[in-house]
A and B are shown apart, each in its own frame.
Chain A
């Protein structure tokens, strides 16, 4: 038996090894993405699965977010006699932050865990090995398609979430102030600038990528049978959410330099 040497402590060593493995996985993803033989059919299938599975939840959450956020903001603005700013204020909040963040957090729970569990289950039942031994590249078939699907679909879902949230805002505003739809739109989008839209798109794309790559990484490296599958699904959600919040802070800081 050999005794194992540690560079720092076992915990730090494991963290560093995990970080390197993760980085290698991302590099492998990009290599396979730009190689030949893209699995287009599987990509479309995954886009449909991600979109379809989250649509109802995002409709409801988006609408409620818009409605409640407007309702909660009203008393503060009323104090200053500035309720006419309400559509504009809430729209900025929805487009800049709420829509991409709410969508990605829902998708981290629903899509990330699903990808982690599916790939984890395939790993522990040797289905990924079966692909490899039949000379089929499992990264190209399983990982590239899922990561690209979430990178493409989550921005679309974010856009849809923003629409649903705006519907919630309009319902609240029109009930309270009897505002027409055209007047509401004018007030709402008066202060939205091109950078806000770009920021929302950049956020949604990076969150989508994060959810896909983390789910695939955790699932692809699952071990220890069904326990490992559960852990992979759970770790996909936790790590995705953690990274999404870090990215949120980073993107806000960077985009603020351009304002």
Chain B
């Protein structure tokens, strides 16, 4: 299978604090890779490096066969059009309606589009996340789950090849979590994306993952399918599992 993301010997630190230490991982075309780990282990830093929001101190980061080391601003922007980023906080623009939020990247990156084409694209992605009725609403009028969906829709409107989800189920009730997990799987099926899902929610990991990688102390200690990883008797994995699925 083709690798869409290749990360080798990645190092990143903030001040005196080392976050990623010799981290290596690949993402293959069409797969959902779930990155697990406790808070502060560098999960979000990893996908921010992939999206070009942060730069690596050392190491190799290739996205869609393009190296992010010394990439020009123009090349990075061209690459970003192929990457969708769903933020933990949804990051919807407060001062804009849902329609304006969705149009925002589209009209600025496709100047030749007509009003009719823009409206069609907006309706199509809103329909795919099941929120057509929210078109004229402001972000403040939406629930947490709806905001997540609109955040995903805003990235889907650009037809990305790679989706990066940062804590997609954080702060949501269990039923909405399941809906978001379903949405992640639907996006993979319908838009043929490859994804990295950052989470510490094992239910989410179980439902959406083709593969799981667990970050401990700045690098990936465990990789494999969900069952392979959690059959491991390592106490760190066991405590992670027990915390999520408390057994009676």
Contacts and interface: CB of A to CB of B under 8 A. Distances in A.
Contacts of B80: 132-135
Given A125-B91, A127-B91, A133 B16 contact: no
Contact of B105 (A122, A127, A129, A135): A135
Given A125-B91, A127-B91, A135-B109, A1 B16 contact: yes
A21 interface: no
A118 to B, nearest CB: 8
A58 to B, nearest CB: 24
A13 interface: no
B109 A136 contact: yes
B126 to A, nearest CB: 17
Contacts of A121: 94
Contacts of B94: 121-122, 125, 127
A37 B107 CA distance: 12
B155 A129 contact: no
Interface string A117-150: 0000110011101111111100000000000000
Interface residues of B, number: 27
B85 A130 contact: yes
A125 B247 CA distance: 36
A2 B16 contact: yes
Contacts of B92: 127, 130
Nearest to A130: B91
Interface string A93-120: 0000000000000000000000000000
Nearest to A125: B89
A136 B105 contact: yes
A4 interface: yes
Contact of B91 (A1, A4, A129, A136): A129
A130 B147 CA distance: 14
A27 to B, nearest CB: 15
B77 interface: yes
Interface of A is mostly: loop
B108 interface: yes
A82 to B, nearest CB: 54
B51 A133 contact: yes
A135 B77 contact: yes
Interface string B150-182: 000011001000000000000000000000000
B53 A136 contact: no
B222 interface: no
A1 B87 CA distance: 30
A3 B15 CA distance: 9
B53 A133 contact: yes
8 contacts: A1-B18, A2-B16, A125-B94, A126-B91, A127-B91, A129-B85, A133-B53, A135-B81
Interface of B: 15-16, 18, 48, 51-53, 77-78, 80-81, 83, 85, 87-89, 91-94, 104-105, 108-109, 154-155, 158
Given A130-B93, A131-B104, 20 more contacts: A2-B16, A4-B16, A121-B94, A125-B91, A127-B91, A127-B93, A129-B53, A129-B91, A130-B85, A130-B154, A132-B52, A132-B80, A133-B80, A133-B85, A135-B77, A135-B80, A135-B81, A135-B108, A135-B109, A136-B109
Interface of A: 1-4, 37, 121-122, 125-127, 129-136
